[in-house]
């Protein structure tokens, strides 16, 4: 059976890192006869330049008929002054929303080879393996009403709405508890229930959902404390579940614990396992076109795609192991480079992963 993958490279370093992920998938496809088929589409600023929209109709049609989507990154200086409704980021938000990709999995894993690249002491982060489950299609990102209005006094006022219905909280709750069951059976729900009614409800519903998962130990933490604990003692966490905006912020913090945001993949899933896979770093316009970006987060996103949408866990393991072998071979892109290592370009890093696959190092 063929597996249709929509490839949306996007902006900035997107095309460079995507080329490496496709290179790796093509090799694996040939080796294992996976039946992967790729079709390219435009998103973000690249789509705006051609169609005047960051998420144009041809891309909507493409992602709807695809089984999975692999995305690079969106955004850049060039489009920053556009109206917010057509900025590149809207393309990403539109994609999440149209496909109802409510469950965003953001693992933060520290590769032992990179322990020195973390901003924390090695003993605080060695062995770190945590998963942030971020609600992705609700909360303040999508709540209505929103906008900038002019008050009677003539002063401008910006406003957004934080809103979650019980059903939205319940479904992300189930997602997170199921993931916790497959890991260490510990789930920490992050909210601001001491101040925000919306997240008071979040906590109530999480407790209710938790009754269906008696094997999982549920705890709660306010978001300010969670941010502090992530930096103080990150290994106390296994799975964290939180709202759209808190998840946005905490996942960047968690990423840095691992040494480089350039290493971290993500999956955004709908209720049926269809998913969009992307590195959690952005389009990094400052280094775009230089061939120095780290492609590993995108390559690892491709592995997540094989695992979560296509249930090809052996193939996913092979990619993850090949990344590990590449790191063992001491090749490093600039973001994870340290003394004594071999500095390589984006495509050389892709080649290192490919050669690990070809050497059957796994």
- Residues with catalytic annotation? 141, 192, 224, 248, 252
Contact 102, 172 (CB under 8 A): yes
Q: Which of 140, 193, 188 is nearest to 164 (CA)?
A: 140
When asked if residue 320 is in the footprint of Mg ion (CB under 5 A), the reply is no
Instruction: State the virtual CA torsion across 74, 164, 243, 176 in degrees, nearest 10.
Output: -110
**Alpha-carbon span 262 to 34, nearest angstrom:** 27
When asked if residue 248 is in the footprint of ligand IPM (CB under 6 A), the reply is yes
The window from 53-61, 89-97, 112-120, 327-335 that contacts ligand IPM (CB under 6 A) reads 89-97
DSSP line for 259-324: S-GGG-EEEEE-TTS-EEEEESS---GGGTTTT-S--HHHHHHHHHHHHHTS--HHHHHHHHHHHH
3-state secondary structure 200-213: HHHHHHHHHHHCCC
**Shortest spacing between CB 255 and Mg ion, in angstroms:** 9
When asked if residue 11 is in the footprint of ligand IPM (CB under 6 A), the reply is no
Which C-beta is closer to ligand IPM: that of 89 or that of 351?
Answer: 89
Which C-beta is closer to ligand IPM: that of 10 or that of 210?
Answer: 10
When asked if residue 218 is in the footprint of ligand IPM (CB under 6 A), the reply is no
Contact 232, 257 (CB under 8 A): no
What 3-state class would DSSP assign to 331? strand
When asked if residue 129 is in the footprint of ligand IPM (CB under 6 A), the reply is no
When asked if residue 11 is in the footprint of Mg ion (CB under 5 A), the reply is no
The window from 7-15, 88-96, 211-219, 323-331 that contacts ligand IPM (CB under 6 A) reads 88-96
**Shortest spacing between CB 249 and Mg ion, in angstroms:** 7
**Shortest spacing between CB 254 and Mg ion, in angstroms:** 11
When asked if residue 270 is in the footprint of ligand IPM (CB under 6 A), the reply is no
**Alpha-carbon span 251 to 230, nearest angstrom:** 10
Of 15, 23, 86, 89, which one interacts with ligand IPM (CB under 6 A)?
89
Give the binding site for ligand IPM (CB under 6 A): 89, 92-93, 248
């Amino acid at each position: 059976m063929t597996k249709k993958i929509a490839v949306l490279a996007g902006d900035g370093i997107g095309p460079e890192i995507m080329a490496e992920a496709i290179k790796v998938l093509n090799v694996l496809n040939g080796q294992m006869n996976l039946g992967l088929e790729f079709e390219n589409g435009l998103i973000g600023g690249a789509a705006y330049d051609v169609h005047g929209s960051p998420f144009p109709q041809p891309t909507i049609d493409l992602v709807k008929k695809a089984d999975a989507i692999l995305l690079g990154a969106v955004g850049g200086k060039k489009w920053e002054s556009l109206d917010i409704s057509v900025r590149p980021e809207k393309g990403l938000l539109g994609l999440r929303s149209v496909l109802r990709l409510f469950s965003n999995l953001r693992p933060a894993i520290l590769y032992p080879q990179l322990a020195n690249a973390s901003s924390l002491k090695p003993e605080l982060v060695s062995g770190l393996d945590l998963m942030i489950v971020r609600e992705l299609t609700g909360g303040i990102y999508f709540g209505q009403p929103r906008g900038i209005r002019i008050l009677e006094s003539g002063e401008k006022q910006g406003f957004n709405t934080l809103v979650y219905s019980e059903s939205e909280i319940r479904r992300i709750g189930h997602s997170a508890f199921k993931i916790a069951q497959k890991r260490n059976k510990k789930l920490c729900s992050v909210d601001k229930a001491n101040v925000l009614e919306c997240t008071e409800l979040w906590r109530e519903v999480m407790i209710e959902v938790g009754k269906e998962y008696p094997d999982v130990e549920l705890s709660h933490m306010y978001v300010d404390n969670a941010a502090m604990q992530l930096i103080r003692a990150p290994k106390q966490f296994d799975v964290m579940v939180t709202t759209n905006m808190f998840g946005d912020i905490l996942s960047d913090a968690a990423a840095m614990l691992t040494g480089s945001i350039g290493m971290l993949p993500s999956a955004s899933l709908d209720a049926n396992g269809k998913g969009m896979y992307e590195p959690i770093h952005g389009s990094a316009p400052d280094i775009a076109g230089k061939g120095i970006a780290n492609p590993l987060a995108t390559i690892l996103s491709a592995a997540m795609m094989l695992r979560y949408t296509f249930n090809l866990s052996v193939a996913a393991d092979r990619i993850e192991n090949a990344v590990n072998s590449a790191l063992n071979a001491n090749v490093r892109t600039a973001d994870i480079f340290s003394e004594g290592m071999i500095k390589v370009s984006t495509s050389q890093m892709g080649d290192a992963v490919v050669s690990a696959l070809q050497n059957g190092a796994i």
